[in-house]
Amino acid sequence: MKRHHIAAMLMLQSLSVGAFAQSSVTIYGSVDNGISYVSNIMGHSVVKMQDGINKSNALGFTGTEDLGGGLRSFFKLENGFSLNTGAMGQGLIFGKQAYVGLGKSGIGDVSLGRQYDYTLQLERYMSPFLNCGIMVFENGDLDRTSGERLNNSAQFNSASFGGATFGAMYSFGQNAGTASTNEGRAYSGNVQYSYGPFSGALVVTDINKAPVYAGLTGAPTLLGHPLTPATVLLVDNQRILGAAGMYTFDKARVSAIYTNTQLQLSGHSETDQVVYVGGDYRLRPDVALSAKVSYDKLEDSHWYSLNMAADYQLSKQTDVYLELAGQKAGGATGTVASIATMGPSSTDKQFVSRVGLRHFF
């Protein structure tokens, strides 16, 4: 009898170990810091330390469990933070992402929580020039391509069907409060296709009661409101359409992205259109060169931007980089240059140079 008890205990123990082996939790993150020179912020040149410019700082946890029969559960909790001050990003403990979901092989995943809308998918097609950092994005991020979240959202992402994937999400209109990007309902969707070295995507995002950083665009007015650098407008509706394509060569990649953003407020309507074209070249296995040009037109104002970067990998996880960005504004009287996250210039020109260090873990 004792032998049978011992054998049963050993069998239960091995089953328990096997069950635990089917689930896993991963800790990951990134840290980025550097020194930036800005030629003109409200009439003065500035040299300052900035973190999270080339790559946003993050600390995250992901987990998955195999439930059998091709079914799995998963979660992600991701925090943003300032490396220089230790402050939490987005004002929340898991301000970047927080969701839980179920997935079925051959069908797709359903997830619930605080999640990026699908304009973030355009970043995949910006990857050839993302080493140029956050300064590649539209001045005030009106097209949300730098990555914005929707609270209280349900999202479905399909499996790949012959190289094609699609996704849809809906955010419930209960989001008034801290770090909300939609006080009303919102929906977003995308279709992507990959074949050999080519990939392309179409995205749409539509949000009611969305806050926009109008004062960072560099435009003198928006939707009938005069702007200062600190102006944030809660628009009645923000609708974004985007299209992107990328082609990969042996040592190089090229991509093009177009976004069309329509804003509505109190009977006023204005449209922002941006074209991004760029690429990268792997000079050596540890050296990459990147460049991007873009044209942004917001009603009567417009901006031409040029970004360049050189990245040197010290290891698979650590690299140093140099970024250069320049912008020329024109059009409506009072339009000024305003490179993303740097703050508006007092003139129609602005230049930024930056050296930095980043590490992934």
Q: Is the model more confident about 293 or about 11?
A: 293
Pairing of strands 198-212, 233-248: antiparallel
178 confidence band (pLDDT: 50, 70, 90): low
pLDDT the model gives residue 133: 94
Tokens 């799995």 correspond to what residue?
72
Q: How does pLDDT run across 12-51, given as a tens digit for each residue?
A: 444 444 444 488 999 999 999 999 999 999 999 999 999 9
Provide the strand spans (E) within the chain. Answer: 23-41, 44-51, 58-68, 71-80, 97-104, 108-116, 149-158, 164-171, 186-195, 198-212, 221-222, 225-226, 233-248, 252-265, 268-284, 287-298, 301-313, 318-331, 349-360
What span, in angstroms and rounded, lies between the C-alpha atoms of 242 and 273?
10
Pick the CATH number of 25-360 from 3.10.20.10, 2.40.160.10, 3.40.50.12780, 1.10.1040.10: 2.40.160.10
Mean of the per-residue pLDDT values for the chain? 92
Tokens 């020039």 correspond to what residue?
129
